[in-house]
């Protein structure tokens, strides 16, 4: 913050990733953006499956109807965007990544929880349930107190390298 003696490294990867993970954990719903066959953007709210906060795995999971437009979009294009917002913390995240549908009956049964029955009330609905795994490969972060000031001027962009490690992208890194 201007006028403070904050000696923390604003580009500390551990701090940035922890801020992103904390925001995701605090948000019940996020927005899922897919692309239709004609190129139109499709955006809808999604209730994500809670993530193990001790895990460093950057995969976000959802359960959905395998007959839905989102499932068709994911099967066709594979790339999605997730948007998380936590107003109380002035925290906003855009996560981009590769989405995969998991429809094998054995895997669906293994992941199934009784809480999903309300969304899939009939046997036919449950037979068409699918799990979506989004492997995050890029993040754009705006998190007050975590990302560099001035807040909101530009995102802090992280990209995942082939081995799984994250790297900082853009002019902000070059200025550090």
d(CA 63, CA 78) in angstroms, rounded, equals 16
Convert the pLDDT of each residue in 28-38 to its tens digit: 999 999 999 99
The predicted pLDDT at position 69 comes to 95
The domain over range 13-103+131-170 is classified in CATH as 1.25.40.10 = no
Convert the pLDDT of each residue in 12-71 to its tens digit: 899 999 999 999 999 999 999 999 999 999 999 999 888 755 556 899 999 999 999 999
d(CA 63, CA 38) in angstroms, rounded, equals 25
Convert the pLDDT of each residue in 76-130 to its tens digit: 999 999 999 999 999 999 999 999 999 999 999 999 999 999 999 999 999 999 9
Segments making up each domain of the chain, as ranges: 13-103+131-170
The residues, any chain, with a CB within 8 Å of residue 21's CB and separated by 6 or more, are: 51, 53
pTM score, two decimals? 0.87
């Amino acid at each position: 913050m201007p006028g403070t003696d904050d000696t923390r490294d604003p580009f500390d990867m551990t701090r940035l990733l922890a801020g992103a993970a904390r925001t995701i954990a605090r948000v019940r719903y996020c927005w899922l953006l897919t692309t239709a066959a004609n190129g139109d953007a499709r955006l809808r709210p999604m209730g994500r499956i809670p993530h193990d906060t001790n895990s460093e795995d950057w995969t976000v999971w959802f359960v959905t109807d395998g007959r839905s437009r989102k499932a068709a979009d994911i099967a066709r294009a594979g790339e999605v965007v997730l948007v998380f917002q936590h107003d109380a913390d002035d925290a906003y995240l855009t996560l981009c990544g590769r989405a995969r549908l998991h429809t094998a009956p054995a895997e669906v049964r293994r992941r199934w929880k009784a809480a999903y029955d309300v969304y899939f009330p009939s046997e036919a609905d449950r037979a068409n349930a699918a799990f979506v795994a989004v492997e995050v490969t890029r993040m754009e972060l705006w998190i007050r107190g975590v990302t560099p000031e001035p807040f909101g001027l530009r995102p802090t962009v992280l990209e995942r390298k082939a081995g799984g490690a994250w790297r900082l992208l853009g002019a902000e890194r070059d200025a550090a």
